[in-house]
Amino acid sequence: MNVLIVDDEENARQNLRLRLLDIDKEICAISEAESIESAKAILDLGEIDVVFLDIEMPEQDGFALLDVYPNIDFEVIFVTAYNEYALKAFEYLALAYITKPIDNEHLSNVYTKVKKLKMPSINQNVINKLSKQLKLLRSSGKVAVPVEAGFNMIENDDIVLFEASEGYTEIHLRNGTKIVSSKRLKYFESVLDQDIFLRIHRSYIVNVNRIKSYHRVGFVVLENDQEMPVSRNYKSNVINKLKITD
């Protein structure tokens, strides 16, 4: 699972991080945010499964973060030193409410509960069927883009890039138009044809056929002369995909 810890106190974040790693050494990633704004920046990438959220913080409280996302796709566990917010927390559909100092057994039980929710068991027949459908869609040369009315079937060749945008994804097309999907960038990364689409940044996936040039300082130029940043985390993937020597 991908975990986000939101707390303005560094010691509190580190303490919770160590406790979680002690419970589950196979956690995919633990991100940290010291403020609501920094938490939003991480959540907008669409890769978080559960948020451990403090309530009383400078400037904005933890509830302000949830107000930004009316339809959240991550679980929320409040971690606070105050009991009086419990009722309000559950009005926000929090999965659990943990008070400080944290009880290890309570934390372990809550974590086990959220892990079961986020990692449901799927029988092999369902997996095989989904895999077959995904292969058929990819072989068609199209992407099924979820939109409010249903799905838009877009030709791979018509797509320039996918851009993360405040919990949504903007699909930029070669004709200059954009399609907005409620799905996050993480979803598209999992369904796109990896031979055609390449993640170059936590906010961008580009069509490799639309890349005109690569610059060692850290960006690619697309066919429309748009410069797109290549982050350090994805640089080696870009170099390997484009078969260039850095």
Q: Is 239 helix (H, G, I), strand (E, B) or coil?
A: helix
* In contact, 20 and 14? CB cutoff 8 Å: no
Q: What is the pLDDT of residues 37-50, one digit of tens each?
A: 999 999 988 789 99
Q: What is the pLDDT of residues 81-113, one digit of tens each?
A: 888 888 888 878 888 999 999 999 999 999 998
Arithmetic mean of pLDDT over the chain: 87
In this predicted structure, the answer to whether residue 14 has a pLDDT above a threshold of 90 is yes
Taking residue 67's Cβ as centre, other Cβ atoms within 10 Å add up to 11
Q: What is the pLDDT of residues 155-214, one digit of tens each?
A: 999 999 999 987 789 999 999 999 999 888 988 988 898 899 999 998 999 999 999 999
Q: Domain 2-118: give its CATH architecture.
A: 3-Layer(aba) Sandwich (3.40)
Are 2-118 and 130-242 equal in CATH topology? no
Given this structure, which CATH class describes domain 130-242? mainly beta
In this predicted structure, the answer to whether residue 224 has a pLDDT above a threshold of 80 is yes
Pairing verdict, β 2-6 and 178-181: unpaired
* In contact, 9 and 35? CB cutoff 8 Å: no
Q: In the prediction, which pLDDT does 123 show?
A: 56
Ranges of each domain in the chain? 2-118, 130-242
Q: Which residue has the higher pLDDT, 126 or 233?
A: 233
Query: Token digits for 27?
Result: 């956690």
- Considering only CA atoms, which of 194, 179, 178 is closest in space to residue 134? 194
Span between the terminal Cα atoms of the chain, in Å: 33
Percent of the chain at pLDDT above 90?
Answer: 52
Q: Where are the beta strands (DSSP E) in 101-218?
A: 142-147, 150-155, 159-165, 168-173, 178-181, 197-201, 204-207, 211-215
pLDDT band at 152 (very low <50, low <70, confident <90, very high): confident
